[in-house]
Structure 1
Amino acid sequence: MALTAFVTGAAGGIGRAVAKRLAADGFSIIATDMDADRAREVVASLPGTGHVGLALDVSSEEAVIACLREVETSIAPANVLVAAAGILILDENGQRRPLTETSFEEWDKTQTINSTGTFLLLREYLRHRTRAPLDHARFVGFSSVAAQLGGYRSSSAYIASKSAILGLIKAGAREAAPLGVTVNAVAPGLIDAPMLRLSLDPSQDAEISRNIPMGRIGTPEDVAGAVSYLAGPDGAYVTGATLDINGGYRMQ
């Protein structure tokens, strides 16, 4: 059975790895990014066939509704939706801005992309699965170790936005279960991707790695492997869960 995965933020470090892994797993990929050219560049590099690159601004309700409608009606129903798009805003020195110095604009933009964007994607996905159920239907959101620890390098706006995902996933999982849809999230720790490099120079990797039980910074492929599990047949009985991908940096 041919399966389709819809991946947002697919031109980013982790999003690209997720698209590549799911393509290797046999999914046809709908890769989306703010920049359509970057999305098309991603799909051109993927193994397999049937991939499509589209522009999508996840902060726009109209854009999310229109994009999901186009995919579901003109391309293929999405068996899996991975909400990997996100943003972290730091100061000019690559440091977290104190809460007392955080502008409303920074707060609002971060919430709109990270938490509201995930809400819009989940809402539209469940609307489509209500109208057109699928035997294999999965939603995977992105939280962060920063939400679980209060963050060290991440801003208060980012921490709050990723904390919202933890609750949204649980609420969504309960509502989606009767539809046969699983709703889960991954919570990456320190991952060698562009967002981490906003605040961490590679020269600091060895020092940082000493604080991680596994002794290394994670890779985008580490996160993609967890998404693959949740998106695949072995994740069929997992819902309302957030998988920690952090090398033991934070243990429950």
Structure 2
Amino acid sequence: MSFPVERTAIVTGGGSPRGIGRATADLLAAQGWHVAVLDIDGAGAEETAASLTERHGVASLGLAMDIARPEEIEAAVSRVEAELPQVVGLANVAGVPSPVPFFELDLAEWDRVFAIDIRGLFVLTQRVTRTMVANGIGRVVSVSSVSAQRGGGIYSRVSYSAAKAAVLGFTRALAREIGEHGVTVNAVAPGPIDTDIMGGTLSEERKRELVTALPAGRVGTPRDVAATIAFLMGPDAGYITGATYNVDGGLHIF
């Protein structure tokens, strides 16, 4: 099936001005995608959407959505499908970190991280891919983390690493299951990226240590990750599925 000219991408977690979600939404809009920005911060999502329309002339929609609440997912996706062109892309960017050490980790924190980082991702992806499969074309890209492969080591610990590892297994299994319907499913695994998490929670000494250990010699930017997501969601990536792309400056080597 040919790649639709008029197409919509859903991007979760696009409300933060310095986040990967916003950079992804902006890059997709620059490439001609109409974009729905879904974020628990409704005002931030609306601001991002308005900026996309102003800067790139695309149709956009910013909606408040708590990804841990299935009923909010259903309401948001139904609005997107009613108000924007055909949904072809889904960028699962929303997520939460967790620096809680293992022996201090309780079920409430474990459930909080899993509800957002994998359960909500599952509910949203299932809802959106039903439409993609019916249309015979789609692109799903989910943000995991190098922590899923290395067992943490940057900021977050066990619960986050486990949830992000689940994203990788989810990606591979779903790619196998729905690939015959023209839907690709891939993941990206960022390393140290200059977002609010890194800027607000890591000490300057820790940042210097990370840069020293990176073959690339620098911390990544949200745009570095967004560029990989945008490629995997584009027309030239139709033969790539079930893959994980490390965008981590080489950190996974160690």
Q: TM-score, normalised by structure 2?
A: 0.91
The match for 2:145 is 144
Gaps of 5+ in 2: none
CA RMSD of aligned residues (A): 1.5
> Structure 1: 5+ residue runs without aligned partners?
90-95
Matches of 1:77 and 1:3 in 2, distance apart? 5
Instruction: Give the conservation status (yes or no) of the 8 Å contact 1:79–1:134.
Output: no
| Deviation of 1:202 (Å) | 4.3
SS at match of 2:8: strand
Letter paired with 1:17: A
| Match 1:27 to one of 27, 33, 37 | 33
Decide whether the 8 Å contact of 1:71 with 1:77 is kept in 2: no
Other-structure match for 1:4: 8
Deviation at 1:43, TM superposition (A): 1.4
**Within 5 A, what are the aligned runs for 1:171-182?**
171-182=173-184
Secondary structure of 1:250 counterpart: helix
Q: For the residues of structure 1 that align with 2:21 and 2:204, how far apart are their CA atoms?
A: 21
Alignment partner of 1:231 is 2:222: no
Distance 1:103 1:212 in 2: 33
One-letter amino acid of the counterpart of residue 67, structure 1:
A
Shift of the 141–24 alpha-carbon distance from structure 1 to 2, 3 Å rule, reads: same
User: How is 1:1-252 mapped onto 2 (pairs within 5 angstroms)?
Assistant: 1-12=5-16, 13-46=19-52, 47-89=56-98, 96-130=99-133, 132-135=134-137, 137-152=138-153, 153-202=155-204, 204-251=206-253
Select between 68-77 and 5-14 the one with higher mean Cα deviation: 68-77
2:149 and 2:67 map into 1 onto residues whose CA distance is 24
Q: Deviations over 1:133-184 (max 9, x none)?
A: 144x101111100010001121211111101001000111011112100001
Counterparts of 2:192 and 2:104, CA distance in 1: 25
CA distance in 1, matches of 2:238, 2:195: 29
TM-fit CA distance, 1:72: 1.6
| Partner SS for 1:29 | strand
Count of matched residue positions in the alignment of Structure 1 and Structure 2 = 244
2:77–2:128 contact (8 Å) kept in structure 1: yes
SS in 2 for 1:175: helix
Among all aligned residue pairs of Structure 1 and Structure 2, give the percentage whose two residues are the same amino acid.
41
Deviation at 1:203, TM superposition (A): 5.5
- State the secondary structure of the residue aligned to 2:11: strand
